[in-house]
């Protein structure tokens, strides 16, 4: 007997549909904000049928969570410059570039919005935090192994990441290289 489940090959039609739908969601969140578009809007923009989206994701919220999780997992690897200061400066610059990039605000905003949306949303939020904490921890562990005295993870999140996130979320001011560097210098 054949396996009734469809086989999904990377690079196949399934992957192309997925990429088009993810891109459409990211653009719509960027343009209109969360809560201001429907499954039909996504389908139109991605060039697929509404039913394809419902069949694969089940609901708009599940699709949004999938987009957020996929984006968060695609992060670049942590820098390894040989010193705590070098690593943290590189890390802060990466995060700044990421969240001020074309889809950065959309992903941040989606993560915040999803934390109010039940189990799936909490999962997306926990993935976001766990991913950030894990990457950061590897930098701090390496520093400790070299005999440096790094701050703890939450302190870096509070005083380097949080100010950048809040400035981007509230659109307050641009994240200049001097500003980002200053956050790390101040911490160290």
Nearer to a second copy by Cβ, of 21 and 37: the residue is: 37
Residue 122 CB, nearest approach to a second copy (Å):
8
Binding site residues, a second copy, CB under 8 A: 29-30, 32-36, 61, 105-106, 109, 111-117, 121-122, 125, 128-129, 154, 157-159, 161-163, 165-167, 169-173, 183
Rg (the chain; Cα; Å): 19
Sign for the pseudo-dihedral over CA of 59, 62, 68, 70: negative
DSSP code string of 45-105:
HHTS-HHHHHHHHSSHHHHHHHHHHHHHHTPPPPP--SSHHHHHHHHHHHHHHHHHSTTHH
Minimum CB distance to a second copy smaller for 56 or for 167: 167
User: Whole-number minimum distance, CB 171 to a second copy, in Å?
Assistant: 6
Q: In the bound complex, what is the minimum distance in angstroms from residue 103's beta carbon to a second copy? A: 13
Cα three-residue angle 80-141-70, rounded to 5 degrees: 65
Give the residue with the Cβ less far from a second copy, 21 or 121: 121
In whole angstroms, how far apart are CA 51 and each of 36, 56, 102? 20, 8, 29
In the complex with a second copy, the residue whose CB is nearer, 42 or 142, is: 42
Query: Hey, how many other C-beta atoms are within 10 angstroms of the C-beta on 90?
Result: 16
Length of the chain (residues): 188
Of 140 and 142, the one with the shorter C-beta distance to a second copy is 140
Q: How far is the CB of 159 from a second copy (least distance, A)?
A: 6
The CB-of-59 to a second copy minimum distance in angstroms stands at 11
């Amino acid at each position: 007997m054949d396996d009734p489940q469809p086989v999904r090959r990377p690079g196949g039609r399934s992957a192309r549909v997925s990429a088009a739908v993810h891109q459409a969601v990211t653009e719509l969140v960027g343009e209109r904000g969360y809560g201001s578009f429907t499954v039909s809007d996504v389908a139109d923009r991605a060039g697929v049928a509404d039913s394809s989206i419902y069949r694969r994701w089940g609901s708009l919220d599940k699709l949004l969570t999938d987009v957020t999780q996929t984006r968060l997992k695609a992060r670049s690897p942590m820098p390894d410059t040989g010193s705590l200061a070098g690593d943290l400066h590189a890390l802060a610059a990466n995060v700044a570039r990421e969240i001020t990039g074309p889809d950065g605000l959309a992903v941040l905003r989606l993560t915040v919005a999803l934390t109010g949306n039940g189990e799936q949303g909490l999962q997306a939020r926990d993935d976001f935090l766990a991913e950030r904490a894990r990457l950061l921890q590897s930098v701090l562990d390496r520093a400790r192994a070299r005999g440096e005295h790094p701050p703890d993870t939450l302190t870096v999140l509070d005083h380097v990441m949080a100010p950048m996130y809040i400035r981007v979320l509230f659109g307050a001011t641009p994240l200049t290289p001097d500003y980002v560097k200053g956050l790390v210098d101040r911490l160290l």
